[in-house]
Chain A
């Protein structure tokens, strides 16, 4: 399960709730990709709509404003009721790439802070590759983090989210739904 609920981390979170944007000294990065047997255009139609996050399996609904324009916003409501607020920071349909950042998420939902990412579709003919690059700090903003909010926990959570979502995207596009 990608979004583990850790009671211990939840307790810690609230202690730092006021320190908006404070973060550790080392930003983490991860990159996951998947090959899909479909044209890049077809894949982009699904993944490139910022106002529809339904290809991400944990997302129940997407509500937002501003379409696919820079500074557009969306709120993802997850199946367990938690919400994630995001802002589009870059969008280039020609290059089939966009970037967004999370403006609001509880670290008990995703144990990261200052998260931003890029999603890019490449390929030709009937082969597409989707690459998802994430950049973020661990959930614990201070020195000597507890295990559930350290760098490794942040990377694992994001990797798990990306892998499950990309697999779901592949299934969805290849089955033509």
Chain B
């Protein structure tokens, strides 16, 4: 599946229109809801009340469910993506923030901002099934495409933890920059890119070697990274810009001005567009990956964070 999308990405121009009809599920933390944005039409098609100051989001691999964390409400909301309704609310603990779904779709991982662990949640049973020990204030989460490893950006430990999902044990920690927040894996699960909020850079991790192989200087307060077309795209919150860099050379390519306080960022399935949630500006900016320019900006709800994977491919 992942390999297929990488192959499609390589074909590039021959799959024009692949993103048509795709949707963004944007968590509006101030507004306490989720905006569903039709990306082809550039308009809002639904607003789903969630409550509890929603922040993290992860779309299930099959696109049927969207999982949203509410750190103040201390719960995980399960959204029926097609029906645009809340299917379930699962009470959790602490401050649920970062969220990721296993490739098999059966387990949802939730970082507890106030603790030093990640919760494994069975979304059907609505229960916490395990707690994995990580560092302090775990933030962004990512699961390797083979489903073997979970990566956690431990914000207040300045490290990334690697958890073996079969045993539930942490098998490694990697020191990164200061206050890592978002963590993004490439399609093969070989490299991870971690945005370091306080040191204004991105650490590039070789997952198998478990070490940092490069650092990219970016703008002020980087939040997270998206990958497309051999390029990385980093949201620099205080600079109101996205820094684009080359994944091979790790050299910056361009600073692209977007809305105020850009946060969540993700590439479209066809790798041609980057979608950026602007937290203060209440918009989503659309960046053309090859031109490195903003081609559109769409209004969403109040305080969009979209921290995680928020794009859904429609069937």
* CB atoms of B260 and A25 under 8 A apart: no
Q: How many angstroms from the CA of A20 to the CA of B79 in the assembled complex?
A: 36
Distance, CA A150 to CA B18, complexed state (A): 45
Within B279-303, which residues are at the interface with A (CB < 8 Å)?
Answer: 279-280, 303
A98 CB → nearest B CB, Å? 12
B238 touches A27 (CB 8 A): no
Does A77 reach chain B (CB closer than 8 Å)? no
Q: Give every chain A residue within 8 A of B156 (Cβ-Cβ).
A: 19, 22
A97-152 at interface with B (beta carbon < 8 Å): 99, 101, 116, 118, 133, 135, 142-143
Does A142 contact B114, Cβ atoms closer than 8 Å? yes
Q: Is A89's CB under 8 angstroms from B198's CB?
A: no
Contact B72 A25 (CB under 8 A): yes
Are B238 and A116 in contact, CB atoms less than 8 angstroms apart? Answer: yes
Contacting pair A29 B53 (CB below 8 A): no
Nearest chain A CB to B56 CB, angstrom units: 9
Contact of B30 among A25, A29, A99, A101 (CB under 8 A): A29
When chains A and B are docked, how far (Å) is the Cα of A29 from the Cα of B179? Answer: 22
Please tell me if the beta carbons of B72 and A26 are within 8 angstroms of each other in the complex: yes
Could you say which of B113, B220, B303 contacts A25, with CB atoms under 8 Å apart?
Answer: B113
B255-287 vs A, Cβ < 8 Å mask (1 yes, 0 no): 000001100000000000000000110000000
Tell whether A90 pairs with B240 under 8 Å between CB atoms, given A26-B55, A26-B72.
yes
B137 within 8 A of A: yes
Contact of A99 among B29, B198, B238 (CB under 8 A): B238
Those of B104-144 within 8 Å (CB) of chain A: 113-114, 137
Instruction: Tell me the bound Cα distance from A98 to B239 in angstroms.
Output: 10
Query: Quick check: B279 and A27 within 8 Å, CB to CB?
Result: yes
Shortest distance from the beta carbon of A44 to any chain B beta carbon, whole Å: 19
Cβ-defined contact, A143 with B279, below 8 A: no
- B113: chain A residues at CB < 8 Å are 25
Among residues of A, the one whose C-beta sits closest to the C-beta of B54 is A26
| Given known A89-B220, A143-B114, contact A25–B239 (CB-CB < 8 A) | no
A80 / chain B contacts, CB cutoff of 8 Å? none
Within 8 A of A (CB), among B199-224: 220
Residues of chain A within 8 A (CB-CB) of B280 are 29, 118, 133, 135
Complex partner residue of B94 from A116, A118, A143, CB under 8 angstroms:
A143
Given contacts A22-B137, A29-B303, contact A90 B238 (CB under 8 A): yes
A94 interface contact, C-beta 8 A: no
Interface residues of B in 231-264 (CB under 8 A from A): 238-240, 260-261
Q: A29-B30, A133-B260 are in contact. Are A89 and B238 (CB under 8 A)?
A: yes
Q: Is A25 within 8 A of B53, CB to CB?
A: yes
Which of B30, B97, B179, B260 is in CB contact (< 8 Å) with A21? Answer: B179
B95 in the interface, Cβ–Cβ < 8 Å? yes
| In contact, B71 and A25 (Cβ under 8 angstroms) | yes
A128 and B238 alpha carbons, distance in the complex (Å)? 25
Closest 9 CB pairs of A and B: A25-B71, A26-B53, A25-B95, A89-B238, A143-B114, A25-B113, A89-B220, A25-B97, A116-B238
Q: What are 11 A-B contacts with C-beta separation under 8 Å?
A: A22-B137, A22-B156, A25-B97, A26-B29, A26-B72, A89-B239, A90-B238, A118-B280, A133-B280, A135-B279, A135-B280
**Interface set of B (CB-CB < 8 Å, partner A):** 29-30, 53, 55, 71-72, 94-95, 97, 113-114, 137, 156, 179, 197-198, 220, 238-240, 260-261, 279-280, 303
* Sample of 12 more A-B contacts, CB < 8 Å, known A99-B238, A143-B94: A25-B55, A26-B29, A26-B53, A26-B71, A27-B303, A29-B280, A29-B303, A89-B238, A89-B239, A90-B240, A135-B279, A143-B95
